[in-house]
Amino acid sequence: MAHTLSANKRIRQSEKKKLRNKAYKSRMRTIVKKFYAAADANDVEVATAAYNDAVKIISKVGQKGVIHANQTSRRVSRLTVRLNAISA
């Protein structure tokens, strides 16, 4: 247990950040699953819409620092490759 006021405050802040980051990651994973489900079904229109949503969310999560910038790029790249594969 922390003894100082500042240590207690840091504990409170880190708990809030943890919950916020968890929500961002969960949202990101959900939208990526939607994209992959549409891609597996070869539904180009739905996959394109889900792709746009996924890229937007992944970029936002990356900007917030929840995931590393390289992970952001890698995730978007993999989605793009998959979308191009079903579009062709």
| Domain definitions of the chain by residue range | 5-87
- Render each residue's pLDDT in the chain as its tens digit; 88 residues: 789 999 999 999 999 999 999 999 999 999 999 999 999 999 999 999 999 999 999 999 999 999 999 999 999 999 999 999 999 8
pTM, whole model, 2 decimals? Answer: 0.87
* Phi then psi dihedrals of residue 3, to 5 deg: -105, -30
User: What are the structure tokens assigned to 51, written together?
Assistant: 């792709």
Which helix H or strand E contains 30, and what residues bound it? helix 5-40
Domain 5-87 has CATH 1.20.58.110: yes
- pLDDT score recorded for residue 2: 84
Q: Hunting for tokens 């937007």 — which residue is that?
A: 56
| Cβ contacts of 55 within 8 Å, gap of 6 or more | 76, 79
